[in-house]
Amino acid sequence: MATALALAGAVAVAATGCAAGASDLAGDLDTHDPALAKQGDEWFVYSTGNGLVADGNVQIRSSSDGITWRYRGEVWDDKPGWLTEQVPGVDNLWAPELIEHGGTWYLYYSASTFGENRSTIALATNTTLDPDDPGYEWVDRGEVFSSTSADDFNAIDPGIAVDEDGTPWMAFGSFWSGIRMVQLEWPSGLRAGDEEPLRLADRQLPPNAVEAPYLLSHGEHWYLFVSMDSCCQGSDSTYKIAVGRAHEITGPYVDREGVPLLEGGGTVLLETDGNRVGPGGQSVADGMLAFHYYDADLDGRFQLGLAPIEWDADGWPTVSW
């Protein structure tokens, strides 16, 4: 099956350290909002669930070479009951994020309904990502952070990063007041304190279509990757990935032209190219950018895309697909 990019074979370089030629991804690629991670020599993608499968729980795929992917099931058979009480009408769980700390994997995910900001970011933990491991069990750790209709933000799309002092942070947000951030704590992985969430990105124009933050440290800077415009409309989607950078994880972030992301800035990193429409929902692992896109040749079905991140002479990320 044709996939996101001819450069996807470079995944094998990261996986094995050996040169690889151009190759398409293959196998089960029906992935939305991929959280890419690597455990040993195995690649994993945890992604948004399907409401018709396993109560909408987060889905799991894996690959031994980063090219051919297979479906590995779902995190749970049934959603934690408290989610349906806290977010009435919740169907599938969205936009997971994976991070490892102290031998524990932390899985953050979103519970919401489309177009509403009565939302919750929740947490589960495990000692392994591999469903075949005898010790595999995702343990529900409850609520991390929530929003209601009285808030000016939307608590979905968690993006987790750890600063130079070892402090974990969670960026989040979708539309409303844009991208926000709160501090977390180890080893619980839950929120630390109750300060007003920091502001990282705001397009300053209704409907403030910016979401899916991902934070990455490289060189002397922190980079904030975001998805802009509209997802989830198949071949009519207008999603694109943009980036800004800052000297501190808490910002302020600016784009390549020096425009603050809080003032509508954002340098476009990846956008629609021919039949590959609306890339977004990004994450990064081992120098690889993971995202979904909508394949116009497959009636707008979403697919997994992978591309190596390269860095130019000015320290900005570049991606080809």
- pLDDT over threshold 80, residue 6: no
Predicted local confidence at residue 282, as pLDDT = 98
Tens of pLDDT, residues 162-173: 999 999 999 999
What's the rounded Cα separation, in Å, for the pair 136 and 27?
24
What's the rounded Cα separation, in Å, for the pair 91 and 56?
6
Report the percentage of the chain scoring pLDDT > 90: 92
| Residue 194 annotated in active site | no
* Residue (of 288, 271, 269) closest to 224 by Cα position: 269
What pTM did the predictor assign?
Answer: 0.93
Tens of pLDDT, residues 262-297: 999 999 999 999 999 999 999 999 999 999 999 999
| Domains, the chain, ordered by start | 6-318 (2.115.10.20)
From 74, 97, 211, 255, active-site residue: 211
Pairing of strands 267-270, 276-285: unpaired
Mean pLDDT of the chain: 93
Q: Report whether the peptide linkage leading into residue 308 is cis, meaning its omega lies within 30 degrees of zero.
A: no
Tens of pLDDT, residues 93-116: 999 999 999 999 999 999 999 999
| Residue 30 annotated in active site | no
From 33, 74, 91, 97, active-site residue: 33
Q: Check: CB of residue 226 under 8 Å from CB of residue 201.
A: yes
